[in-house]
Amino acid sequence: MTTLLELQNVHTYYGHIHALKGIELRVDEGEIVTLVGSNGAGKSTSLRTISGIVRAKAGHIRLESRDIIGMKPHEVTAMGVGHVPEGRRIFPLLTVWENLEIGAWNERSRSAISDRMEQVFILFPRLKERLGQKGGTLSGGEQQMLAIGRALMAQPRILLLDEPSMGLAPVLVEGIFEIIKKINAQGTTILLVEQNALMALEVAHRGYVLQSGSIVLQDTANNLMNNEMVRKVYLGEN
């Protein structure tokens, strides 16, 4: 498999707090890879560091052979990295249409933007019904659909998903994970951070376990689900 994204010895700080301590991971083209860990382990920081929202102090982040460390977020997006942040972060006063259009900021062709929207509507037909509605008036599930759809409008090669099920009812969570599998099946590589470790491992090919900013375990998703430590600490088994 071709390695699409690779982190080598990445260190990230928040002030004097050493948040990522030499992270090393890779995501191969076509994979779903998940990061498993408790709150504060460094999962979201890993995604923010990849997308350039937080700047790493040391190490390398390579998209294929190009080092993207130090690039600004819009430059990373233009390279093919989409990011759906924790909490969705849609524009609440803009309509669904406007939110989606902003996602295609790097495309000037109106017909191409319309084509991309139609692809989003195939995944999320509810959004087509809400085109003129302001983002802030959507339900939590619809806002999550919009956040993912907006990221897909840039046609990313790899999609960073941060806690896509947060705050959603169980029935909606199942729907979101079905969509994640569909997006991957259509050719988009995914790096997933998710509080529901079991569901994340069920859709992922491989996973990494983070503790206090360091990776302590990596394996196939199936092996991680059967790992005694993972089952006790992250899957809630006695």
What's the 3-state SS for 40-76? CCCHHHHHHHHHCCCCCCEEEEEECCEECCCCCHHHH
228 part of a folded domain = yes
Query: Half-sphere exposure (CA, 13 Å, Cβ side) for 232?
Result: 4
- Residue 5: name the closest of 70, 74, 51 by CA: 51
Query: Half-sphere exposure (CA, 13 Å, Cβ side) for 93?
Result: 0
Give the Cα separation of 60 and 204 in Å (integer): 24
215 part of a folded domain = yes
39 part of a folded domain = yes
The pLDDT, as a whole number, for residue 88 is 75
50 part of a folded domain = yes
The pLDDT, as a whole number, for residue 106 is 77
Q: Which residue segment(s) compose the domain that 21 sits in?
A: 3-90+159-233
66 part of a folded domain = yes
* Structural tokens at position 60: 């390398």
Give the Cα separation of 135 and 226 in Å (integer): 40
Give the Cα separation of 196 and 209 in Å (integer): 13
The pLDDT, as a whole number, for residue 172 is 84
Q: CA angle, 230 as apex, 224 and 234 as ends, to 5°?
A: 120
The pLDDT, as a whole number, for residue 36 is 95
Number of domains present in the structure of the chain: 1
143 part of a folded domain = no
Residues 6+ apart with CB under 8 A from 237: 231
Q: What CATH number corresponds to the domain at position 163?
A: 3.40.50.300
21 part of a folded domain = yes
188 part of a folded domain = yes
The pLDDT, as a whole number, for residue 238 is 60
Helix (H) or strand (E) holding 56: none
Regions of the chain short of the pLDDT cut 50:
none
Give the Cα separation of 101 and 202 in Å (integer): 32
Cβ neighbours of 231 (radius 10 Å): 16
Encode 93-113: b = buried (16+ Cβ within 10 Å), e = exposed.
eebbeebbbebbeebeeeeeb
